[in-house]
Structure 1
């Protein structure tokens, strides 16, 4: 049911096809996993088809190796009228143990769309804990920063 589950975790093993020339999982593979988890979380929250509008602040903290168990967790941290801001954490480790370390973190913005592809309203997420209030406030601060960065990036756009 839409508006009830704001957290989703995908778990799987990193495969040989995911490796780059350096023997570690390719950043592009990690970004794909982030997008998949983000879509599943946003679609679950909104009950609608969702598209990725923004991926930012991607930090590759530690490498992921073939055979690692990978956990990609997406969590709604802010909702607008049709958008959902998601905090994404990627953790990995040896599947024979329980230790997982943070490998990647970012923020995604997903937009719910109707059958014609137009943005459509999503259920509001209201934080209830101090930690969730801080996540929401952080998302709002990031929105303001993105506006400034977007204006600055206009100088780099060529048509």
Structure 2
């Protein structure tokens, strides 16, 4: 049933084992949750095994506290031939009350794979239909362009003469 599940939300409980030295949840733990939710969303859209190829524009805006209920929502915002871009929002709230707060956001890209051939395979296309969809698609494109700029900068730094 590929091409049907455009958005997926996974929820996690921030546990004491997730804490860093500052008493908040590790950024790496949040990134793991992002990857897990993104993978589930990519498989739901493509109906295939998928691999992460990029995470761009990740911003940690507010801490996640131990005991918080954390929601990670991945929304498909762009498809290529074999790739799927998801806008991801991480929110958290105290389960005993309080407002939900945006903690992290980013764009994550997956590629659908043919496991036997170990090659990318096509995914169902998606076309933005609403003004909100168009804004999300533009957001994803801009974030990914920033990531490409960073890759070019790193390549020039690591490879003398590459910018000539």
- TM-score in terms of structure 2 length: 0.91
Instruction: Flag structure 1 segments of 5+ consecutive residues without an equivalent.
Output: none
Structure 2 distance, partners of 1:41, 1:76, is: 8
Q: What value does the CA root-mean-square deviation take over the aligned residues?
A: 1.4
Quote the offset at 1:101 in angstroms: 0.4
Count residues in correspondence: 158
Superposed, 1:2-151 pairs within 5 Å as 2-97=2-97, 99-115=99-115, 116-151=117-152
User: Matched residue of 1:111: which SS?
Assistant: strand
Select between 67-76 and 144-153 the one with higher mean Cα deviation.
144-153
Runs of 4+ residues deviating >6 angstroms: none
Between 92-101 and 2-11, the greater mean CA deviation after superposition: 92-101
Q: Deviation at 1:138?
A: 2.6
Q: 1:6 to 1:98 in 2, by over 3 A?
A: farther
User: Aligned with 1:110: secondary structure?
Assistant: strand
The runs of 5 or more residues in structure 2 that have no matched partner are 160-164
Whole-angstrom CA distance in 1 between matches of 2:27 and 2:147: 23
